[in-house]
Amino acid sequence: MVGQMCGKTSGYSLIFFTRLTVMRTLVTGGAGFIGSHLADALLARGDEVTLVDNFSSGRRENIESAVTNGAEVIEGDIVDKVFVEETLQAVRPQTLFHLAAQGEVRRSIEEPSFDATVNVVGTVNVIEASKNIGLDRFVFASTGGAIYGEGSRIDLPAVESAPLAPLCPYGQSKLVGEQYLELYRRMYMFNSVALRFANVYGPRQNPKGEAGAVAIFGELLLAGENPVVFGDGTQTRDFIYIDDLIDAILTASRNDVEGPVNLGTGDETSLLELLDSLRDAGNSLNGSGPPDSASFEPSFASARTGEVKRIAISPARAAEELGWNPTTPLGKGLGHTLEALRARTPG
């Protein structure tokens, strides 16, 4: 019906119609690993996209394709309330994806007030400015890996109603972000969803960061170096491939589900199993494989404070509410990630 209307209208009406249907979206943390993939996907679906980032861990090379495809980039800090207010008043997005964060567990333990400043105060700034412009939909990047706390004490994979008991300030600050969204829902009927991401991996993840085991181990594998595992390597995580995650985020942004939704596979993979799968993926790389990938053997260091022994999160609510299920097997996702890492490695 809509298509027919388009066909019969004049050129002027067609432009008017197009403008009405184009969605204005804003991504905080848009130059980061996940934010830059989200930006590409939003542009591909035809949105007008603005990226806000202070480039503390984000990289300009991540957003080269987004910029080429028309994304607007605004450099600034979400901790700066005036900057956030003015930016949202000027851009007036309909949907906002809030991904900017201090994302490192270890740094959150060493500098809890910095973590709270970015992840709580910064998040409140973004929520308040969003409420002030009458935003339609707020999509929050929460954590499934750090919000439940130690998975050994609950049934795994964890469901959203499981008790929340973070073991590090990072998990706590994300929980507070979720609670602010609930508060704003009660106070202002503010519409939001809190997506609890599992351990996300894929191209563009920073191997120099602390958070991405796959990127860190993948880079070592390609360099022919052996990995150091903190703990005995039997600790488990739920690894979700970036393309699957982005599909879910896009669906959640156009859906009316509210509250927390896990985005994970529900599968526990130990770090030792991850290393085996990486070694296999390295051996299957096209062309010249990585040097000595067969001898990719870990050494062990003391387990780190604040890191849980076991976690995996159930995708059942996401399946029911979003019709989403992750489809990328670990081996395939690791293969894509290694190919991208190899393409970036000089020489």
Ligand X SMILES: NC(=O)c1ccc[n+]([C@@H]2O[C@H](COP(=O)([O-])OP(=O)(O)OC[C@H]3O[C@@H](n4cnc5c(N)ncnc54)[C@H](O)[C@@H]3O)[C@@H](O)[C@H]2O)c1
Q: Which residues are catalytic?
A: 170
**Any contact of residue 39 with ligand X (CB under 6 A)?**
no
CB of 236 vs ligand X, minimal distance in Å? 15
Q: Which is nearer to ligand X, 194 or 293 (CB)?
A: 194
Q: Cα–chain-centroid distance for residue 332?
A: 19
Q: Is 163:217 a contact under the CB 8 Å cutoff? A: no
CB of 283 vs ligand X, minimal distance in Å? 25
Could you give the C-alpha distances from 64 to 30, 172, 340, in angstroms and in order?
Answer: 12, 33, 15
**Any contact of residue 103 with ligand X (CB under 6 A)?**
yes
Tell me the H-state helices in the chain: 2-8, 11-21, 33-44, 64-68, 81-91, 105-110, 112-116, 122-132, 169-188, 213-223, 242-253, 271-283, 316-322, 330-344
**Any contact of residue 308 with ligand X (CB under 6 A)?**
no
Among the listed ranges 77-85, 151-159, 220-228, 282-290, the one in contact with ligand X (CB under 6 A) is 77-85
Single-letter residue type at 242: I
**Any contact of residue 151 with ligand X (CB under 6 A)?**
no
Among the listed ranges 96-104, 274-282, 293-301, 332-340, the one in contact with ligand X (CB under 6 A) is 96-104
Q: Is 241:328 a contact under the CB 8 Å cutoff? A: yes
Output phi, psi for 202, to 5 deg. Answer: 150, 180
**Any contact of residue 115 with ligand X (CB under 6 A)?**
no
What is the three-class DSSP state of 145? coil
Q: Is 199:213 a contact under the CB 8 Å cutoff? A: yes
Could you give the C-alpha distances from 207 to 89, 216, 238, in angstroms and in order?
Answer: 36, 4, 18
**Any contact of residue 74 with ligand X (CB under 6 A)?**
no
Q: Which of 50, 54, 130, 337 binds ligand X (CB under 6 A)?
A: 54
Among the listed ranges 50-58, 214-222, 251-259, 321-329, the one in contact with ligand X (CB under 6 A) is 50-58
Q: Which is nearer to ligand X, 196 or 279 (CB)?
A: 196
Binding map of ligand X across residues 222-261, x = CB under 6 A, - = no contact:
----------------------------------------
**Any contact of residue 78 with ligand X (CB under 6 A)?**
yes
Buried b (16+ CB within 10 A) or exposed e, 24-33: ebbbbbbbbb
Q: How far apart are CA 117 and CA 170, in angstroms?
A: 11
Q: Is 197:266 a contact under the CB 8 Å cutoff? A: no
Q: Which of 23, 69, 72, 77 binds ligand X (CB under 6 A)?
A: 77
Q: Which is nearer to ligand X, 31 or 181 (CB)?
A: 31
Binding map of ligand X across residues 120-139, x = CB under 6 A, - = no contact:
--x-----------------
**Any contact of residue 177 with ligand X (CB under 6 A)?**
no
Q: Which residues bind ligand X (CB under 6 A)?
A: 29, 31-35, 53-58, 77-79, 99-101, 103, 118, 122, 141, 143, 145, 197, 199-200, 211
